[in-house]
Chains A and B, each alone.
Chain A
Amino acid sequence: MTTTGMPWLLELLIAVFLLFGAVVALIGSYGLAKLPDFYMRLHGPTKASTLGVGCVLIGSLLYFTHQQEGVSVQESLVTLFLFATAPASAHMLAKAALHRRLKAVERTRNKPFD
């Protein structure tokens, strides 16, 4: 990789995007490891990890747009795809969990079953 001839403001912006994305995605994975029941664990990966990877992809888009001729828009395709599919897979997993009657933590309100 080469960063010569890159304005420092752009470099800073890319670095911020990459770091922010990594931190947010790490929090999502931490939520997956830490939270007490399945329904709560579902929240971490579907939101935080998706946004984290989205930020990294935006950083990559900016980097390759500067490095190569013209605009590099392919990364936006992956971002779009992730944002479109994350809710669908979360919904399917929640449905499967309800079907298997997984226990929610005691203090959960309005449990659909006991």
Chain B
Amino acid sequence: MKPLAFWIPRPLFSVFLAVLWLLMANSFSPGHILLGAVLGIAIPFLTHPFWPEQARVRRPLPLLKYFLVLLVDIFRSNLIVAGRILGPSRKLSPGFFTFPLELDDDFAITILASTISLTPGTVSAHYDAEQGILLIHALHLEDEADTIADIKERYERPLKEIFR
């Protein structure tokens, strides 16, 4: 008898796929739930040799909280960016800066880079894996050290706790 981890190599991904199927079918009937469960188990089982090493989510609940905070921040930052676009573009002082990463998990870095792209006037432009830095472009850069500290405090620290 093979262990359970052989049949369900990544449980969170399975749950995600099953929920995705239910959303797609737009129905929560028992038949669709069964089909979603079958797909959620079959797809990771058949494809997991192709996937890179698995990210270990230690605590799913803080991840949920992180996404809620992110949702509010996206909303807030959009209003700020909209204001800057509508204002005179002569007054904007754009700039690049490098962000030293403390994370080492690929999936966590992906989430952090996406977060940076979606929040206050910053877009991640380049990731250097060897030096572990992100090159970020800001629409309006006031204080470099301040922005870096803000990102570290607000996004990187929770991510570090979620992925260990």
Quick check: do A and B touch in the complex, using CB within 8 A? yes
- The total of interchain contacts (Cβ-Cβ below 8 angstroms) comes to 116
Q: How many residues of chain A are within 8 Å of chain B by beta carbon?
A: 44
Given contacts A51-B78, A94-B123, A95-B126, contact A87 B118 (CB under 8 A): yes
Report how far A43 CA is from B120 CA in the complex, Å: 10
**A109 engages B96 (CB within 8 Å):** yes
**B93 engages A86 (CB within 8 Å):** no
Q: Contacting A34 at CB < 8 Å: which of B85, B118, B141?
A: B85
Report how far A82 CA is from B113 CA in the complex, Å: 16
Report how far A34 CA is from B114 CA in the complex, Å: 25
Instruction: Bits for B8-43, please: 1 = Cβ < 8 Å to A, else 0.
Output: 000000000000100110111000000000000000
> Within 8 Å CB of B64, what residues of A?
none
Q: Contacting A95 at CB < 8 Å: which of B20, B82, B117, B125?
A: B125
**B123 engages A90 (CB within 8 Å):** yes
**A108 engages B123 (CB within 8 Å):** no
Instruction: Bits for B87-114, please: 1 = Cβ < 8 Å to A, else 0.
Output: 0010011111100000000000000011
> Within 8 Å CB of A108, what residues of B?
94-96
**B78 engages A48 (CB within 8 Å):** yes
Q: A-side binding surface: helix, strand, loop or mixed?
A: helix
**A47 engages B20 (CB within 8 Å):** no
Report how far A104 CA is from B126 CA in the complex, Å: 15
Report how far A26 CA is from B103 CA in the complex, Å: 36
**A105 engages B94 (CB within 8 Å):** yes
> Within 8 Å CB of A74, what residues of B?
23-24, 26
Report how far A105 CA is from B77 CA in the complex, Å: 23
**B85 engages A110 (CB within 8 Å):** no
**A47 engages B81 (CB within 8 Å):** yes
Q: Quick check: is A103 within 8 A (CB to CB) of the other chain?
A: no
A57-93 interface (Cβ within 8 A of B): 70, 72-74, 76-77, 83-84, 86-88, 90-91
> Within 8 Å CB of A112, what residues of B?
96, 135
**B85 engages A94 (CB within 8 Å):** no
Task: Return the 9 tightest CB-CB contacts between A and B, nearest first.
Answer: A109-B95, A87-B117, A94-B125, A87-B114, A31-B85, A27-B82, A51-B78, A43-B139, A110-B96
Given A37-B94, A110-B144, A111-B96, 4 more pairs with CB closer than 8 A: A27-B85, A31-B81, A46-B118, A83-B74
